[in-house]
Amino acid sequence: MKTVPELIAHIEHLVPEGAPFGTRAKASLPIDAPVGRLDVAVAARIDAKGGRRLQYWCDGIRVERHVLLRLTCPEGACPQSRAIRAQWQDFLRGERGPAEPAAAFAPSPQPLIQDLPLRFGRAECVARPASFRCFTPCPNGAHPPMSIDQPGFDLFEDGRCVGGGVVTGTDGVRRPRLPTLQAAEAFVLARRLEALAAVAGARDATDRRSD
């Protein structure tokens, strides 16, 4: 089990509808969520009336199912998940007391466009942060699919766009082609290796003709 939906399905399988009274099961799972590491637990039991009762916890705190699914959703750009994460952080701050006041600082001007140079040998590109509107399903199934502004990068070389935009995955979902700077670096490196392979192939072909 790697996700919260898989954990819930596992418990529901251990305690199916119609099981004998007293049947119960509980399991936990650590999750790396956008808010950080969370310890999730799910339990189920059959009550005296034959009904199945499910309970959910996050870091030992009892929560509703929809809260758990949104809180642990790996889709960091989802506005519904962001709202739940903000409420969770507010709740934790209330539990732990008032936070220390932030140190005052003078805001520094930031450029409107942040170009990040990428270099591999002679290849020189610029990665520019961008936002891509994508119709995105919830990985945890907490809500219907929605259009979300997904962060990513476009790549430019000599003023020309050579990579970026969106791509359709095997699951039919459109996502940013270069969602992270690491993905942009890998793209530039792959282009560099392709160029080197093409040069080597052309040289080999010339040598064979010379022979």
pLDDT tens figures, 19-68: 999 999 999 999 998 888 999 999 999 999 999 999 999 999 999 999 99
Task: Please state the rounded mean pLDDT for residues 79-97.
Answer: 84
What is the C-alpha to C-alpha distance for residues 55 and 46, in angstroms, rounded to an integer? Answer: 12
As beta bridge partners, residue 37 has 32
Query: Cα dist. 96→24, 51, 90, 99 in Å?
Result: 33, 37, 10, 8
Residue bearing tokens 């979300």 = 148
Q: Comparing 38-47, 132-141, 167-176, which segment has the lowest mean pLDDT?
A: 167-176
* Residue that wins the pLDDT comparison between 104 and 82: 82
Give pLDDT, residue 210: 67
Give pLDDT, residue 113: 53
Q: How many CA atoms lie within 13 A of 146 on its CB side?
A: 13
**Could you tell me if 37 and 77 are in contact, meaning their C-beta atoms sit under 8 angstroms apart?**
no
* Residue that wins the pLDDT comparison between 35 and 100: 35
What is the C-alpha to C-alpha distance for residues 71 and 29, in angstroms, rounded to an integer? Answer: 14
What is the C-alpha to C-alpha distance for residues 174 and 176, in angstroms, rounded to an integer? Answer: 7
Give one DSSP letter per residue of 120-140, joined into a string: ETTEEEEEEEEEEEEEE--TT
| pTM of this structure | 0.68
**Could you tell me if 134 and 175 are in contact, meaning their C-beta atoms sit under 8 angstroms apart?**
yes
- DSSP label at 101? P
What is the C-alpha to C-alpha distance for residues 32 and 35, in angstroms, rounded to an integer? Answer: 8
